[in-house]
Amino acid sequence: MALPPTVLVTGAAGFVGSHLLDRLPHGDARIVGWRRPGESLPPAPTGTACEWMEVDILDRAAVEAAVAAKPPAMVCHLAGVAHVGHSWDRAAHTLAVNVLGTHHLLSAVAAVAPACRVLIAGSALVYRPQDRALSEDDPLGPVSPYGLSKLAQEMAAVQAFAESGLPVVVTRSFNHIGPRQDPSFSTASFARQIARIEAGLAPPAVQAGNLDARRDLTDVRDTVEAYRALLARGQPGRVYNVCRGVAYRVGDILEGLRAQARVPIEIRTDAALLRRHDVPLMLGSGARLERELGWTPRIPIERTLADILEFWRAAVAAETGRGGDAAT
């Protein structure tokens, strides 16, 4: 009897990867998840039907051996360095993981499974900043080490398609938020701070950076649905924006969370949280993805914010050993 096709998810234990695992059809495919050596697994039941492998994508031999051991029919490459602000202090590491790691993966897959469909989760930060919605035809011009690394990653993917015919699709993903995101990202940070304040673990003030920046925000659960569609039906060698098409002021996102708080909360600006070279507006056009695959985001921002806050309330309660509502 033939084995079911193998779907490989790199970065499967991370924020986006864990949500993708929740939505993959486990009965129809063999799901293989890569995680960094020593990285924790996502909380159950996420990933319980996944075959886990610890793989360092900077180790070319390890990548080649892992791909050869379980040749994939599809790959969703989510592993990488994701934090823009941290990339200024860790530029070499950011470039190595996002570019060299991707090169190792693409080379290994092309050698073992040349018909394998590959999705590379790229970034909208490859674009030159503009004061309007960005389409896939707009000029490229990253302004951070992270953006530069994602442009080089994208170029490696497109080159793999051109040279070997490997059917690679690349996203230019705009900001996505949701439960399980690391609190080094602003929306998760705001929600975690509010949950800690409600639990009486912090003074009643949220510390924030630039509240005037505007960001195109999509629920991560919608984002992974776009990835599933692109993995199955995206045109190889093509890039696709993944976005909502609406820019939200960061301060308004914080106000949306504060409106759900169970106790009064102040907002204070912390100069240490202000980013150098912060782009004022990141707004995308998802017309290509909607036209070619019919994908549009479905989860309203209000539900996303409510779910993020509930996630952090539960996380804080678990950390402190408290059950139920922390504030009365």
The 10s digit of each residue's pLDDT in 58-108 is: 999 999 999 999 999 999 999 999 878 777 788 999 999 999 999 999 999
**What is the reported pLDDT for 210?**
92
pLDDT at 328 > cutoff 50? no
Average of pLDDT values for 131-142? 97
100-104-106 Cα angle (round to 5): 115
43 Cβ contact partners less than 8 Å away, ≥ 6 residues apart? none
Asked whether 146 and 83 are in contact (CB, 8 A), the reply is yes
* pLDDT of the residue at 26: 65
Tell which wins on pLDDT, 270 or 308. 308
pLDDT tens digits, residue range 220-240? 999 999 999 999 999 999 999
Nearest to 98 by CA among 53, 143, 148: 148
Instruction: Read off the pLDDT of each residue in 31-35 and give the average, rounded to a whole number.
Output: 97
- Least confident range of 42-56, 248-262, 288-302: 42-56
Q: Over the chain, what is the mean pLDDT?
A: 93
- Residue range 99-132, pLDDT digits in tens: 999 999 999 999 999 999 999 999 999 999 999 9
Q: Is the pLDDT score of 304 beyond 70? A: yes
> Quick one: CA torsion of 32, 37, 38, 43, rounded to 10 degrees?
-20
The pLDDT value recorded for residue 323 is 58
Binned at pLDDT 50, 70 and 90, residue 28 comes out as confident
Looking at residue 77, its pLDDT comes to 98
Q: Where are the beta strands (DSSP E) in 168-280?
A: 168-173, 176-177, 205-208, 214-216, 218-219, 239-242, 247-249, 266-269
6-176+217-242 classified as CATH 3.30.420.40: no
Q: Where are the beta strands (DSSP E) in 93-182?
A: 117-123, 168-173, 176-177
Give residue 48's pLDDT.
83
Rounded Cα distance, 284 and 244, in Å: 7
Fold topology of 181-216+246-281+299-320: UDP-galactose 4-epimerase; domain 1 (3.90.25)
Average pLDDT over residues 180-191: 96
Indicate the pLDDT class of residue 4, thresholds 50, 70 and 90. Answer: low
Nearest Cα neighbor of 13 from 48, 61, 62 is 48
Q: Where in the chain is the domain with CATH 3.90.25.10?
A: 181-216+246-281+299-320
pLDDT at 273: 77
What are the residue ranges of CATH 3.40.50.720 in the chain? Answer: 6-176+217-242
Of all helices (H) and strands (E), which one includes residue 68?
Answer: helix 60-69
